[in-house]
């Protein structure tokens, strides 16, 4: 018998060393085109990549040829001595780089100060000595990389452009211009890297919620261990001030826990015996003993960290377009510069050296780094900013899709309502008492995870004899059929009993926001229960804000028509559809997507029983996803607490991010085109060209980082009126 070989899974690696965004795109392109690699995405903002372990050496070779010095390092859960040594080496390299830049600046300044004295032959020797020393101190790596790339047939990158422009300037005796270009390019690269690292650190701040240790209780001893060593069922101790290391149930003790790192909410939550706490929360006051319910790899904090860190692998349409645009933009400008250097002197006459200088000026500004860096960094910052507010976006493509949402479809229970049910009325049929009816329903619902079933069991409150419950069957969207004490019991919607041929007497029950559960025993009607739910505190305001933004709001629910109508009227949603099975919700969603209304459709559900419709929507948004495996797996966006208002915040963050990104695109292209135009007519020098390249790139990066500091806009007034024009976020 042949054994099946397990499918090799991709592993995340950190890319260490210096490389630019343009080189990142080139490495990504070559890796993806390599046989066996498959589609490979480099997260430039996080400096990470997912690769098959068996192909890491090949990937290292490819990346090293494109950008010498980069190194693939597996990401370990816990840092070791090698990691510390590598970090120290990188810090020393940064200090040496800064020293070279500062020394070159000093030499360049001396050269400019004594420029009037370089007229005699000995003075020219000193001029060349000072300027070329400064030039090679900051430009040797650029020159060497350009030579390596040319030898491999790889041209049209920033190393080639900078080398060609500066060597040409030296050839026509424009030494200060050549040094200035290489010096400002190096300074710009250094500042860009610092700015990008700031954004990385903002994500690493979130990653710091990863717990470092767990206090494992073993008999009478407490041992400090790695959270990954703890198994389900073991008990751990969490002292005041410590971070909860694993998802667990409180066995003893009570305390207040800080959930801000997970949900963005600053108000501490009280927990006591029987409550669940999640990894990443901070124990504020009391001593807690927890029973671990999930291993670390499956814990909420680990899934959240993976989700945020890996968001860069899902690129937005704008990001993909700019990457493609950059591939053709640089060669086009190089060809145009070559034509500018050769054609005018040949066709209309003029000084060849003057036209060559103009062409070199155009070359300097042809590097697309401002666009290639700032756009993915903008999305990275937007995703990081959203995560700080308890909104997890799985990728830039979903953040971009949020800007195009025009229809928001809500599930009702657990999304717009609290999903915390109570039995408020018991109406038994003749021959049954209230206690008997409740006992029958509680036994039949003994195995159901539904919130309504839980409320019935809680109302009954007594132990149930599960040995008397047989042939338990859940009928999707309708209720339960089970054999209880040898009798066939149906508990659920009216349709469940009607399909079984059981007649239900009409009772005058004011449902309001409640749900009626009908019960039959051995084909005879036994009575009904009224289960109440209530609308969440900010649901009304959320729908009002969406209506104000011109959104169409829809509620899809499996509840009775009267319940759906009451919720729709209270919240002023645009339309509602009730008595739906899970497959009916998918059908209605598809109908809404195919309607004439422009824009995308978002579905907002609790993530527990809405996986099919979450996956079908243009943007699936899981409410209350904290600790919910189904929510994190099925949704594109996870709102980590139960506040519907975070949906509006997510849309505003997405629009704000897109606005910043298009500002960068317009600014970078406009400045580059203006300076190219001025350079063609001899009105711009290389100093202006350097600003148009590195200066614009740095400004675009700083502008992109504004997304991290985004604050919630002022809340919209509660109004049911809608606007045909979509409102932009308050900035």
Active-site positions read 411
Residue 693 is given by DSSP the state I
Tokens in use for 248? 């667990």
> Closest Cα partner for 227 from 240, 241, 209?
209
Give the Cα separation of 106 and 100 in Å (integer).
10
Bridging pattern class, strands 552-556 and 575-577: parallel
Q: Are 312 and 46 in contact (CB under 8 A)?
A: yes
Q: Quick check: 51 and 59 in contact, CB under 8 A? A: yes
Helix (H, G, I), strand (E, B) or coil at 604: strand
Across the beta sheet with 71-74, the strand order is 42-43, 48-51, 11-16, 71-74
Sheet holding 221-225, edge to edge: 221-225, 214-218, 235-238, 288-292, 248-252, 276-277
Closest Cα partner for 556 from 490, 622, 603, 625? 603
Tell me the C-alpha distance between 572 and 568, whole Å: 6
Q: How far apart are CA 691 and CA 187, in angstroms?
A: 11
CA dihedral 329, 334, 335, 339 (to 10 degrees): 130
Structure tokens at 361: 């000026």
C-alpha distances out from residue 422 to 110, 378, 456, 457, 544, Å: 82, 46, 8, 10, 28
Q: Beta strand pairing status for 552-556 and 405-411?
A: parallel
Q: Residue 299: phi, psi to the nearest 5?
A: -70, 160
- Specify the 3-state DSSP secondary structure of 621: strand
Q: Using the 8-state DSSP alphabet, how is residue 53 labeled?
A: G
């Amino acid at each position: 018998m042949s054994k099946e070989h397990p499918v090799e899974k991709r592993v995340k690696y950190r890319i260490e060393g210096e490389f630019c965004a343009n080189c990142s795109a080139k490495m990504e392109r070559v890796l993806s085109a390599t046989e066996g690699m498959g589609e490979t995405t480099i997260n430039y903002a996080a400096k990470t990549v997912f690769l098959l372990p068996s192909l890491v050496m090949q990937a290292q070779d490819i990346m090293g040829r494109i950008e010498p010095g980069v190194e693939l390092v597996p990401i370990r859960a816990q840092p070791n001595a090698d990691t510390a040594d590598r970090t120290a080496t990188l810090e020393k390299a940064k200090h040496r780089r800064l020293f070279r830049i500062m020394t070159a600046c000093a030499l360049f300044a001396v050269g400019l100060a004594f420029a009037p004295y370089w007229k005699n032959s000995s003075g020219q020797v000193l001029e060349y000595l000072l300027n070329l020393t400064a030039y090679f101190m900051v430009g040797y790596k650029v020159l060497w990389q350009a030579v390596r790339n040319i030898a491999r047939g790889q041209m049209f990158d920033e190393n080639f452009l900078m080398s060609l422009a500066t060597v040409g300037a030296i050839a026509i005796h424009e030494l200060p211009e050549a040094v200035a270009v290489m010096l400002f390019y190096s300074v710009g690269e250094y500042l860009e890297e610092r700015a990008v690292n700031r954004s990385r650190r903002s994500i690493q701040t979130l990653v710091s919620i990863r717990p470092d240790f767990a206090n494992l209780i073993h008999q009478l001893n407490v041992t400090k261990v790695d959270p990954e060593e703890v198994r389900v069922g073991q008990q751990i101790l969490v002292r005041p001030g410590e971070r909860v290391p694993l998802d667990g149930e409180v066995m003893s003790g009570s305390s207040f826990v800080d959930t801000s790192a997970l949900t963005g909410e600053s108000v501490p939550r009280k927990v006591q015996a029987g409550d669940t706490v999640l990894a990443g929360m901070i124990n504020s006051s009391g001593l807690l003993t927890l029973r671990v319910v999930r291993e670390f790899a499956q814990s909420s904090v680990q899934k959240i960290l993976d989700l945020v860190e890996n968001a860069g692998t899902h690129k937005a349409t704008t990001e993909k377009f700019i990457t493609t645009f950059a591939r053709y933009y640089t060669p086009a400008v190089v060809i145009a510069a070559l034509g500018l250097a050769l054609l005018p002197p040949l066709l209309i006459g003029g000084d060849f050296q003057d036209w060559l200088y103009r062409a070199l000026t155009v070359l300097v500004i042809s590097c697309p780094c401002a666009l290639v860096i700032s756009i993915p960094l903008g999305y990275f910052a937007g995703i990081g900013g959203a995560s700080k507010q308890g909104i997890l976006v799985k990728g830039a493509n979903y953040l971009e899709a949020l800007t195009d949402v025009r229809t928001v479809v809500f599930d009702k229970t657990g999304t717009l309502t609290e999903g915390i049910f109570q039995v408020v009325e018991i109406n038994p049929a003749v021959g049954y008492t209230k206690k008997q009816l409740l006992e029958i329903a509680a036994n039949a619902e003994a195995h159901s995870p539904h919130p309504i079933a839980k409320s019935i069991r809680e109302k009954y409150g007594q132990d149930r004899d599960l040995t008397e419950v047989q042939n338990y069957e859940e009928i999707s969207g309708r209720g339960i059929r089970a054999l209880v004490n040898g009798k066939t019991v149906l508990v659920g919607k009216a349709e469940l009993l009607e399909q079984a041929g059981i007649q239900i007497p009409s009772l005058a029950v004011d449902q309001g926001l409640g749900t009626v559960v009908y019960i039959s025993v051995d084909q005879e009607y036994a009575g009904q229960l009224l289960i109440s739910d209530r609308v969440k505190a900010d649901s009304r305001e959320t729908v009002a804000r969406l209506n104000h933004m011109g959104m169409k709001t829809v509620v899809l629910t499996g509840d009775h028509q009267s319940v759906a109508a009451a919720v729709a009227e209270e919240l002023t949603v645009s339309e509602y559809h009730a008595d739906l099975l899970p497959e009916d919700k998918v059908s209605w969603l598809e109908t809404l997507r195919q309607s004439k209304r422009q824009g995308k459709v978002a579905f907002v559900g609790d993530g527990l029983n809405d996986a099919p419709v979450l996956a079908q929507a243009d943007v699936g948004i899981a409410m209350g996803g904290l600790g919910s495996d189904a929510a994190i797996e099925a949704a594109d966006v996870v709102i980590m607490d139960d506040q519907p208002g975070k949906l509006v915040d997510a849309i505003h963050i997405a629009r704000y991010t897109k606005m910043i990104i298009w500002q960068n695109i317009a600014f970078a292209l406009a400045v580059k085109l203006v300076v190219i135009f001025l350079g063609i007519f001899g009105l711009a020098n290389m100093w202006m060209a350097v600003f148009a390249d590195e200066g614009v790139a740095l400004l675009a990066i700083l502008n992109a980082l504004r997304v991290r500091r985004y604050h919630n806009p002022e809340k919209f007034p509660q109004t049911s009126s809608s606007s045909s024009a979509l409102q932009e976020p308050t900035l």
